[in-house]
Structure 1
Amino acid sequence: MNKKFIQKSVATGLAIILFFGIFAGFNKAEADTALNVNAAGAIIVDGQTGQVLYEQNADSLLGIASMSKMMTEYILLDAIKHGRVKWDQKYSVDELAYKISQNRDLSNVPLRRDGKYKVRDLYQAMAIYSANGATIALAEVIAGSETNFLKMMNDQAKKLGIKDYKFVNSTGLNNSDYKGMQPKGTDPTAENEMSPRGVATLAFRLINDFPDVLKTASTPTKMFVEGTKMDNWNWMLPSLVYGYQGVDGLKTGTTDFAGACFTGTAMRDGKRFITVVQDTKDAKGNRSDKKSRFDETRKMLDYAFSNYTKEQIVPKHYQVKGNKTVKVANGKSKEVEIYTNTPLKAMVLNGEKKNYQPVLVLDKTKLTKNGELTAPIKKGEKVGYLTVEPKNGKKLDFLTSDDQKRLSADVVANQDVEQANWFVRMMRGIGGFFGHLFGGISTTVKGWF
């Protein structure tokens, strides 16, 4: 065997190893590079668990323009849910809402100075047509003034676990559009900002906490009470010019500062994705082109629907090898079988299911210091949960730390375990005492020799 043949064989072998190593290690980082969204920031999220599937500059503070209205929607819908505001409640137009609504250079339905409008009509104008005067009106209904409402926006962002944000008004306009009537204490030329991760977190919570928002967000066109036609700015709704199958939300935004932005969401074949793009550009690098936000969103949704599948990682009644039972203190039985009460499903790259493994997490609040459950235990009682992680040790990325729990299946007891009677417990205690005692004596005696 000559030297050249050996070198050639070694080189070929290394090439094969490298080839399979590259594809075996294919993950979100490689996908991020391959997708290359033409935007200052972007993110794709599993709309049912909050798992991040793609990100680009996702933690940078960027302008969000009218995507801000998702926060106004969230606070309004929460107020409706808790009875603080009613759908048929009427609003009398004040000076600020009136003046802003008359500016047709902005997205608006004109409000009459002497008009009275139902909250539902104002909400539809905001969610469908991004009407700015109507948004200010809703802020006043909820908080008395937009200045008061601004504090609610910032407080709510913190509650939702959003880290990178700055709100200066309810609408997403530049404060200069308020002509000196912007919320008190805010810069007269400031504008709302948030990271793509923050926007996705807001959108995720909005559609999961208040799923009916999608019924309004997916309305292509509607007449306002004063006879103004409201055409939805989301041109990716299936019946509109850039229609995409399954799109049913969520919110566009455009200002000179923020550029063209869009938070989209689509549902197909049991899969829902949320996408965010901020300050998009077209193929020529033009940031003023509104069409580009839909082009880039289409690219992201195509990628998500084509490359990710919701896979069952474990079935119902699954038991983790080596952890099929948990010891029980003070029970008639000394252990109890445990299993999942539902299947565990996860969104994974096509063909990558084998690279994931289930992980058991027991509820520490139910365990003794010795790691035992305490009797009595009821069949079906939750004792922990099963989650999933890659076998390579990398952690899955989620919008917030709490979202990891959404990718889980409850682990429950498979049978009742009654508490042992006092005599059995006493005898076990005595046995344990003498067991420790004789164990100590034995150790001491061995030490003599």
Structure 2
Amino acid sequence: MGQVKQSTRTLSRIFLSLLVLITVFGSKVAAAEPIKVDGAAAIIIDANSGQVLFEQGSDEQLPIASMTKLMSEYLILEAIKEGKIAWDDEVAISAELATLSHKRALSNVPLRQDYAYTVKDLYESMAIYSANASTMALATHVAGSEKSFVGLMNEKAAELGLEKYEFVNASGLNNADLGDLRPEGTEPNGETSLSARSVAKLAYYLLRDYPEVLETASIPFAEFNAGPDEKVDMPNWNEMLPGADHEYSGIDGLKTGYTSAAGNNFTATAKRGDTRLITVVMGTDTRADRFNETAKLLDYGFNHFDQEILLEKGAQPDKGLIEVAVGKEKEVQVVTKDDVSLLFSRQQDASYTTEIKLDEDKLDDEGRLVAPLKKGEKVGTLKISLSEPTSYIDGDELQVDLVTANEVEKAGWFTLTMRGIGGFFSGLWTGLTDWVGGLFS
């Protein structure tokens, strides 16, 4: 297990920089070329740590169109995980939704009341083809009504720590397109709006909590069984997937969006090697622009940053031997639960310092961990501070959970009694020697 310390990479980076300087006869090492996105807002984050690599207008709250479905997907996958619904559930289609579903200009697959559609059927049409009526049917299946589902969307946004958001429906359409089907209590012309930073954060948690979302989002083309012998083509609106017009190596998600108010939007994710990036582009003029600008962001992230493991899983922090109260052992070693890695630009200083913060509910009044403790039990966090300021999608600090390296059983009464007696005589002897020493001082 490695000890936490200043990264040795700092010296190697300085050495390599000196070599480059000598080679080019004293010219400076070029910094990463600045980029500018042709759109209303944009952001790049590391999907592993939430580290922000670039942002432009990312705090402005804007309409997000069908990127709204990222939250719908989160809640549907959560409901399946919790056993509230199942993939093979049949979903009821109301007469009003059936009528709406035949408005193909609104991105729909046609639905019928006299045909059985499962959660999986409708989810695929939502995730691949951005089918709006399908999304609304799923929302009602999960929560009883779209109004209740919208309540869940806003509650989940608060739970995930999104800062600028307003969800008004499950699909991302402008309410004007829904007419009487708009959720009760929402404005007739209401439209879901988030900041680019909040969209990126939502995508970050969606990928972290439900990585299986990519199994569907990465499908470039599928067919929808709309009825007996009635199949509907579903090309994925993500034109950066393999074989599409704007194919980009490593892309496997995530969600496009368009309304007249939002313009053309796209939340993308791509993986190369061990690095996965999430990008958000909002408000481009054309559909092609949202993909071109996304490629620009991904090129910047992949070409100018290297992933570096700062701490491996099981690393022992300095001063990581923690005192234990009422345990068979008086101390326990804490270690990092997971690897800690970040992306660094070629010229960035990778040195860092660490600070242990123990969970207060695990401590006694003297700041000691209280036995019994299980092996692998979370007892605190390790805060990692880089020498250069770094922003993260969920705050300004990089942290990793600290867990116990071994089990510590609670000591029996005899052991505790003997410790008490030993402590008494130790204190008595210390006091006596101090008194005697004072006579001759």
Give SS of 1:228's match.
strand
Q: Shift in Å at residue 156 of structure 1?
A: 1.8
1:262 to 245, 260, 266: 266
Q: Shift in Å at residue 398 of structure 1?
A: 2.3
Q: Distance in 2 between matches of 1:428 and 1:23?
A: 64
Give SS of 1:398's match.
coil
Deviations 1:275-302 (A, max 9, x none): 111112xxxxxx2x11111111111111
Q: Percent identity?
A: 42
Q: Shift in Å at residue 59 of structure 1?
A: 1.9
Asked whether the equivalents of residues 108 and 129 of structure 1 are also in contact (C-alpha less than 8 Å), the reply is yes
CA 1:142–1:439 in 2, change beyond 3 Å: closer, same or farther? farther
Look up the equivalent residue of 1:249 and give its one-letter code.
G
Give SS of 1:243's match.
coil
CA 1:331–1:214 in 2, change beyond 3 Å: closer, same or farther? closer
CA 1:154–1:423 in 2, change beyond 3 Å: closer, same or farther? closer
Q: Shift in Å at residue 382 of structure 1?
A: 4.9
Alignment of 1:354-369 (within 5 A): 354-369=350-365
2:298 to 296, 301, 304: 301
1:313 corresponds to 2:310: yes
Corresponding residue number in structure 2 for 1:325 = 321
Alignment of 1:343-382 (within 5 A): 343-352=339-348, 354-374=350-370, 382=378
Give SS of 2:40's match.
strand
TM-score normalised according to structure 2 size: 0.82
CA 1:350–1:90 in 2, change beyond 3 Å: closer, same or farther? same
Q: Distance in 2 between matches of 1:188 and 1:380?
A: 52
1:426 corresponds to 2:420: yes
CA 1:350–1:417 in 2, change beyond 3 Å: closer, same or farther? farther
Asked whether the equivalents of residues 41 and 283 of structure 2 are also in contact (C-alpha less than 8 Å), the reply is yes
Give SS of 1:424's match.
helix
Q: Distance in 2 between matches of 1:389 and 1:268?
A: 26
Q: Distance in 2 between matches of 1:60 and 1:50?
A: 19
Corresponding residue number in structure 1 for 2:105 = 105
Look up the equivalent residue of 2:354 and give its one-letter code.
P
Q: Shift in Å at residue 305 of structure 1?
A: 1.0
Asked whether the equivalents of residues 314 and 358 of structure 1 are also in contact (C-alpha less than 8 Å), the reply is no
Corresponding residue number in structure 2 for 1:51 = 51
Q: Shift in Å at residue 342 of structure 1?
A: 5.4
Alignment of 1:400-415 (within 5 A): 400-401=394-395, 407-408=399-400, 410-413=402-405
Corresponding residue number in structure 1 for 2:256 = 252
1:241 corresponds to 2:245: yes
Q: Distance in 2 between matches of 1:218 and 1:360?
A: 40
Look up the equivalent residue of 2:51 and give its one-letter code.
Q
Gaps of 5+ in 2: 1-20
Q: Shift in Å at residue 68 of structure 1?
A: 0.6
Asked whether the equivalents of residues 44 and 275 of structure 1 are also in contact (C-alpha less than 8 Å), the reply is yes
Q: Distance in 2 between matches of 1:223 and 1:423?
A: 73
Asked whether the equivalents of residues 386 and 411 of structure 1 are also in contact (C-alpha less than 8 Å), the reply is no
1:183 corresponds to 2:183: yes
1:279 corresponds to 2:283: yes
Look up the equivalent residue of 1:307 and give its one-letter code.
H
Look up the equivalent residue of 2:245 and give its one-letter code.
V
Look up the equivalent residue of 1:69 and give its one-letter code.
K
Corresponding residue number in structure 1 for 2:18 = none
Corresponding residue number in structure 2 for 1:202 = 202
Q: Shift in Å at residue 430 of structure 1?
A: 1.8
Look up the equivalent residue of 1:273 and give its one-letter code.
L
Asked whether the equivalents of residues 382 and 412 of structure 1 are also in contact (C-alpha less than 8 Å), the reply is yes
Look up the equivalent residue of 1:308 and give its one-letter code.
F
Asked whether the equivalents of residues 200 and 267 of structure 2 are also in contact (C-alpha less than 8 Å), the reply is yes
Q: Runs of 4 or more off by more than 6 Å in structure 1?
A: 435-442
Corresponding residue number in structure 2 for 1:397 = 391
Q: Shift in Å at residue 85 of structure 1?
A: 1.4
CA 1:336–1:162 in 2, change beyond 3 Å: closer, same or farther? closer
Corresponding residue number in structure 1 for 2:126 = 126
Look up the equivalent residue of 1:252 and give its one-letter code.
T
Give SS of 1:248's match.
strand
CA 1:368–1:238 in 2, change beyond 3 Å: closer, same or farther? same
Q: Distance in 2 between matches of 1:366 and 1:385?
A: 12
Alignment of 1:82-93 (within 5 A): 82-93=82-93
Deviations 1:190-235 (A, max 9, x none): 1110111111121112122111111111111111103110000000
Give SS of 2:170's match.
coil
Deviations 1:11-37 (A, max 9, x none): xxxxx9xxx9x989x8xxxx7x92222
Q: Distance in 2 between matches of 1:172 and 1:432?
A: 71
CA 1:209–1:404 in 2, change beyond 3 Å: closer, same or farther? farther
Q: Shift in Å at residue 361 of structure 1?
A: 3.0
Q: Shift in Å at residue 332 of structure 1?
A: 6.6
Corresponding residue number in structure 1 for 2:213 = 213
Give SS of 2:107's match.
coil
Deviations 1:125-152 (A, max 9, x none): 1110011111111112122222222212
Q: Shift in Å at residue 48 of structure 1?
A: 1.8
Look up the equivalent residue of 2:143 and give its one-letter code.
A
Asked whether the equivalents of residues 374 and 404 of structure 2 are also in contact (C-alpha less than 8 Å), the reply is no
Asked whether the equivalents of residues 43 and 200 of structure 1 are also in contact (C-alpha less than 8 Å), the reply is yes
Corresponding residue number in structure 1 for 2:168 = 168
Q: Shift in Å at residue 238 of structure 1?
A: 2.1
Corresponding residue number in structure 1 for 2:6 = none
Asked whether the equivalents of residues 341 and 410 of structure 1 are also in contact (C-alpha less than 8 Å), the reply is yes
Asked whether the equivalents of residues 337 and 415 of structure 1 are also in contact (C-alpha less than 8 Å), the reply is no
Q: Distance in 1 between matches of 2:142 and 2:373?
A: 46
Say which is worse superposed, 303-312 or 187-196, in terms of deviation. 303-312
Gaps of 5+ in 1: 1-15, 281-286
Corresponding residue number in structure 2 for 1:12 = none
Corresponding residue number in structure 1 for 2:14 = none
